[in-house]
Structure 1
Amino acid sequence: MTQVFGGRAKAIELEPLGVIDIGSNSVRLVVYEGAVRAALPIFNEKVLAGLGKSIATTGHLGEESVERALEALRRFRAVARILKVKNLRVLATAAVRDAVDGPDFIKRAEQAVGVPIEVLSGAKEAQLAAYGIRMGFPAADGLAGDLGGGSLEVIDIYKDRLNDAVTLPLGGLRLIDQTAKQIDRALPLVDEQIAQVTWLTNGRGRPFYAVGGTWRAIAKLHMEQANYPLRVMQGYAIPTREAIEFCQLVRRTKKISAFPGMDDVARARRDVVPFGALVLERLLEALAPSEVIFSVFGIREGLLFSLMPPLEQQKDPLLSFCEEYARQRSRSVAHALELCAWTDALFEGDGLKETEEDRRLRHAACLLSDIGWRAHPDYRGEQSLNVVAHAGLSGIDHSGRIFLALAVYFRHVGSDESKADDFSSRLKMVISKRAQKRARIIGAAIRAAHMLSIGMPGVIDETRLSYEGIKLVLTIPRAYSALDGERLRRRFAILAELVAREPEIRILA
């Protein structure tokens, strides 16, 4: 396997794919590196055009909003050309779908962007939103809601099966227009629409996946209130009752612009936030889910998912991302893969026990373990911690994300608590003691392995870890006996202590 020293090596060259979403509130372009399971955006820009702000009362798109949208589309066309995007897909949702002058706008918009525009039906919008959830949560089992400016789509998802779905006229801009910004008048409208959907009780005790910029803004406000150490939206979870009470606090605030954290919310979205909070509050009361999980993946990512072949859809998004990241940033992805197999021995036979999810996270940590090798040695731990904690990971919750960040951190700094910084200390407070201990063990194992192999493939796969009664034994073939030494033995002793064994290094005759 080819070694990679910080460069990008791929088995295939990916072709950039662009998706423009013409929504009721925003017009956004995202260009992905390709239609693959762990695709990363290489460009992301939105314009808050507000196309749907007067649909409910006038039935028309506002001319000022139309001009802003067309200007954005002309720019996005130029951006796509510069990025050599050959496959540009453009979607339009509730505002354009419902407006009397929607067809006229589409003609002008197609001239501006240079490609056909697909106006999504409510059913298709719900389907793509569900695919977006599958993109970020491969084993999703719950109800998802995608709140836009003009409508709310609610979908029942069970892994790869989409069950019931409904589109409701409960978008934030629509409610503002209907009620002349009087949120108390919106409450009976929201309750009336939700009450008509009898199957919402299927969400009881299952997660609710919240999609849409307004709901992400609410999550951002909650993070600010809770002094949460991460500012990563994907996978952020709030217990249901806590989410309901926070939504009530937001919607009852008289001056929403003064709400703590609101400075980080776009000005054009601030008036919508209380109405989004109202919809989320009333929906959660009807659903009674186990928790609310926020997703950054919506219909754009759903479209990307729908374009993938089935084998690509079935890949693990977390491990796909980590392997590709190792290919780009590590000295050797082959060595990272060897670490996955080498550390398996710690959890076999009489060794430590782990679940399938534990094993998956351990392998992810091994894949990411060398991404900080170019940093100054004194800062590799700190920088790796920040990179992993804030990476564009999917298929993982926040506890798992923090576990990965700490495991890679401990791989660099060892077990010296005096080196702990404020960020690592705050992260430790979010996860369990068991997860912290596992992160230390994985970090210590990777640390010992790197001292033995010098981060290069073809060494540790010739060695063997094993348990023999009270001992943890590392067996090294004579061909590599010169790699034995004081620093390796010190690191191996730390690993053995963490797994409650006595260390022994054997050189094969």
Structure 2
Amino acid sequence: MTASHGLAPEPDLDTAPGRVGVVDIGSNSVRLVVFDGLKRVPVPLFNEKILCGLGRGLEGSDQLNPEGVQLALNTLRRFVGLARAMKLQRLDLLATAAVRDASNGPSFVQEVESLCGLPVRVLTGAEESRLSAEGVLSGQPSARGFMGDLGGGSLEVVALGEGAGEAWATLPLGPLRLMDAAGDDRAKIQALINRQLSGQAWLSELEERDFYAVGGAWRALARIHMEQTHYPLHMIHGYSMDREEALELTGLVSHLGKRSLASMTGVNKRRIETLPCAAMLMRRIIELARPKRIVFSAYGLREGWVHNQLEPEVRDSDPLLSAAADWGTREARFGDLGGQIAAWCLPLFPERDEEAERLCLGACHLSDVGWRYHPDYRAEHVLLRVLRAQELCIEHFERAFIGRALYSRYGGNRNASILHYTRQLLSEERVRMADALGRALRLAYTLSGGDPQMLEVTALKPEEDCLVLKIPADAAVPPGQMIEKRLSSLASALKISRSDIQQA
């Protein structure tokens, strides 16, 4: 651990390669997240949150909550101990709204630094907004519209997309702060929300774009909606609902009492107190900005902080392809052959668009990660892993496409009920493409045995009503019965009536 971050208790203590940690000292919770490295899509290895309530009562007292301070200090001491035990390369402590706004915030920071031996970075409102937006964009680079990051003490709203850098605000609209100011009086809470948002006229200029929602209270709303609609995939990141669905949901939740909320499936009991405020706030934002969709992001401040440490060329790389290549390199038998396999397979889909090419390349990077499983279970395990993996930061339909392609690559039954996950998330065209790509991947490994040279000297070529595999006469590995079988299977998936192997 580097001395600059105060995590090297002994000079000869080895560090775990690349591991970094971020502690987010928020108004409601103190959280430690340990990532596997400073890279384009860092994978969380450890994630622990303690609801300390530092900002509880701040609105009236101008002071951090005394009980919250003691719990936070104990929690931070534990987190630093964990960081030492995990041999982190670096640990960064970030404090947000409550510490920033409290009159005794500086003395709390001084006590933390003395206790932990680490500096605390107290983020300004502008920094918190920028980093939260960078976190969202790191996971969803094509995001256009605006993002809202709801913490216990504040709301950061930032416009996303071209020319949006100056449209942002930090507002005192966290649920804890609202409840401190208005108690259980929802009419008063609504008035406070209206007053703060009335000054953000720029929101109305983003009509029909997307609203990217960040924060635990808003993620709880997504979970409720998933349960109500029987959504097939319980992954918050990338989940979306249209404007009317969101208005209906937030209208319902904002009027429910604690007992009714507690009886709803999907509601975390610790979120019951803050859910009505969060729903009222989201509803008012939707009314003002009229977004086309509400898209939920699991990426925010902490991920933005890590992303901000990267070199520009790494920051600008595609998160799907970066994560898939990283995963393939770690777990495939022959290393990452994604580029070579994609070059061999993609000519099968001459009418592919940019999105389809990107999805195919991602699947090619991951085309050998299931080899460790028993052959009878490979297809199912790989499908479920892609659908649920933290290693990938992608949209739900992207998970469905890649998972289905790999299910086909490992010979899964295309009529199996487990594929209902993918059928609900993909068009018929994408289903057919994923199934065909999977069979092409299966053929590629049977043909090459993981040797990229065999892929370089062979080629697949659709010719009229026949799918032709061209192999040099002097190829190191001649064709056999299994090649013929898998070529025929691929032709069937492509709706080509015949297949043939030509040696020349």
Instruction: Give TM-score scaled by structure 2 length.
Output: 0.93
Which of 319, 324, 343 in structure 2 is aligned with 1:322?
324
1:476/1:505 contact within 8 Å kept: no
1:288 to 290, 301, 312: 290
Match of 1:495 in 2: 490
1:194-237 deviations in Å (ceiling 9; x for gaps): 11111111221111110111111111111111111111111111
Distance 1:187 1:165, change over 3 A: same
Q: Give yes or no for the alignment of 1:398 onto 2:400.
A: no
CA contact (8 A) 2:40 2:322 kept: yes
> Is the 8 Å Cα contact of residues 389 and 401 (structure 1) preserved in structure 2?
yes
In 2, are the aligned partners of 1:225 and 1:260 still within 8 Å (CA)? no
Question: Contact (CA 8 Å) 1:138, 1:395: kept in 2 or not?
Answer: no
Q: Distance in 2 between matches of 1:257 and 1:335?
A: 50
Structure 2, unmatched stretches of 5+, are: 1-15
Return the alpha-carbon distance in structure 2 between the equivalents of residues 493 and 59 of structure 1.
Answer: 73
The one-letter code matched in structure 2 to 1:449 is: A
- What are the Cα deviations for residues 94-140 of structure 1, in whole angstroms up to 9, with x where unaligned? 11111121111111122233211111111111011111012101122
Partner of 1:141: 144
Report the CA distance shift for 1:151/1:249 in structure 2 as closer, same or farther (over 3 A).
same
Where in structure 2 are the equivalents of 1:299-318 lying within 5 Å?
A: 299-318=301-320
**What pairs with 1:194-233 in structure 2 (closer than 5 Å)?**
194-233=197-236
Provide the residue aligned with 2:94 in structure 1: 91
CA distance in 1, matches of 2:407, 2:453: 24
Residue identity matched to 2:362: A
CA pair 427-334 structure 1, distance change in 2 beyond 3 A: closer
Where does residue 428 of structure 1 map in the other structure?
Answer: 423
Residue 456 of structure 1 and its aligned partner are, at CA, apart by 4.1
The residue that corresponds to 1:8 in the other structure is none
CA distance in 2 between counterparts of 1:310 and 1:487 reads 46
**Mean Cα deviation higher: 24-33 or 254-263:** 254-263
Q: Does 1:157 align with 2:192?
A: no
Matched-pair contact (CA < 8 Å) for 2:262–2:272: no
Question: Hey, what's the Cα distance between the residues in 1 that align with 2:53 and 2:440?
Answer: 53
Give the one of 135, 147, 169 matched to 1:166: 169
Is 1:278 aligned to 2:276, yes or no?
Answer: no
Answer whether contact 2:328 2:368 (CA < 8 A) is retained.
Answer: yes
Q: Percent identity?
A: 39
> Is 1:505 aligned with 2:503?
no
Deviation at 1:495, TM superposition (A): 1.6
- Conservation of the 8 A alpha-carbon contact between 1:130 and 1:144: yes
| Contact preservation (8 Å) 2:232, 2:424 | no
By how many angstroms is 1:162 displaced? 2.2
Q: What is the root-mean-square deviation of aligned Cα atoms in Å?
A: 1.8
Q: TM-score, structure 1 length as denominator?
A: 0.92
Could you tell me how far 1:334 is from its partner in structure 2?
4.1
Partner of 1:413, secondary structure, is: coil
CA 1:262 to 1:466, structure 2 compared with 1: closer, same or farther past 3 Å? closer
- In 1, the alpha carbon distance for the partners of 2:260 and 2:118 equals 40
Deviations 1:296-321 (A, max 9, x none): 11111111111111111111111110
How many angstroms does 1:470 deviate by? Answer: 2.4
- Following superposition, the deviation at residue 251 of structure 1 comes to 1.5
Residue of 441, 450, 455 corresponding to 2:445? 450
Q: State the 1:453 CA deviation.
A: 2.1
The aligned counterpart of 2:264 is 260
1:438 is aligned, of 433, 441, 457, to: 433
More relative contact order, 1 or 2 (CA 8 Å, 6+ apart): 1
Could you tell me which runs of 5 or more consecutive residues in structure 1 were left unpaired when the two chains were aligned.
1-12
Q: 1:159 offset after TM fit, Å?
A: 5.6
Answering whether residue 44 of structure 2 is matched by residue 49 of structure 1, we say no
Inter-partner Cα distance in structure 2 for 1:236 and 1:461 = 40
Query: Which is worse superposed, 315-324 or 101-110?
Result: 101-110
Partner of 2:361: 363
- Corresponding residue for residue 342 of structure 2: 340
Is structure 2 residue 240 aligned with structure 1 residue 245? Answer: no
Of residues 469, 479, 482, the one that matches 1:484 is 479
- Name the count of aligned residue pairs: 488
1:142 CA displacement = 1.3
Say which of 219, 233, 239 aligns to 1:236.
Answer: 239
What is the CA–CA distance in structure 2 between the aligned matches of 1:458 and 1:359, rounded to whole Å? 22
Cα 1:412–1:160 shift into 2, 3 Å = farther
1:395 Cα offset (Å): 5.3
Moved more, 425-434 or 320-329: 425-434
